[in-house]
Amino acid sequence: MDTIRYFKDLAKARHREIGGSIEGELVGLQKVQHLVAVNAGYASWDALLRASPADRDLAVAMTIEPHLCINGFGAGYFDLPLEARRDRFVGWRLELRQRANHVAEIRDWLESNVVPRKTINYDYGSYSIKHMAERHLGDYVANGELIAAAIIGGYTYRREEGLSPNAAFGMSSRSLAALRQRAA
């Protein structure tokens, strides 16, 4: 994916949405580009342009999925008061955002080993696939890293129902079974 084109198109769409003004004040496309970059985790539009492709890929995935964090989707269960859950979620988003290179490594592994399919495969969820990735890559893989890698890799996906942090993907059962068998 051309990530720079994605963010340019997003800025143009947002500029059209606001009609060129915020609270009666005229806002140019450059200002909207800056705001889009800041919302994606960059200090400025120029910082977005200078970022590595892996970093921009992850920023796009996290822009598409605003509930994605290091642990998957959401802020976890209701074990803390609302404000504490929000703070935890912000921290988990930042933690995922700092792992762009590892997410790119996982994406490369997925693309080399797992054949995509159009329909969602509910037999293997993100949590079980993350364990396969750990065995093959030799290091820890967070659920959110696996989900982000699959989104960046272009696999179709669907969040699991309810409060689950997991996702299911359009990934071939045959590919995943072969990976599971090789790891055994």
Q: Do 113 and 170 share a domain, yes or no?
A: yes
Helices (H) and strands (E) in the chain, counts: 9, 7
Tell me what pLDDT residue 79 has.
79
59 in a structural domain: no
Kindly state whether residue 116 falls inside one of the protein's structural domains: yes
Tokens in use for 46? Answer: 């120029």
pTM: 0.92
How many CB atoms are closer than 10 A to CB 111? 16
Question: Could you tell me if residue 7 is inside a domain?
Answer: yes
In a domain, 64, yes or no: no
Look at residue 76 and tell me if it is in a domain.
Answer: no
The answer to whether residue 179 sits within a structural domain is yes
* 26-85 pLDDT, tens digit each: 888 999 999 999 999 999 999 999 999 999 999 999 999 999 999 999 877 777 888 898
pLDDT at 184: 63
HSE-CB for 144 with a 13 A CA cutoff = 25
Structural domain contains residue 83: no
Does 167 lie in the same domain as 107? yes
Mean pLDDT across 132-142: 95
Q: Could you list the residue range(s) of the whole structural domain that residue 106 is in?
A: 100-183
What is the predicted pLDDT for the residue at 76? Answer: 75
Q: Considering its fold, how many domains does the chain have in total?
A: 2
Q: Is residue 69 part of a domain?
A: no
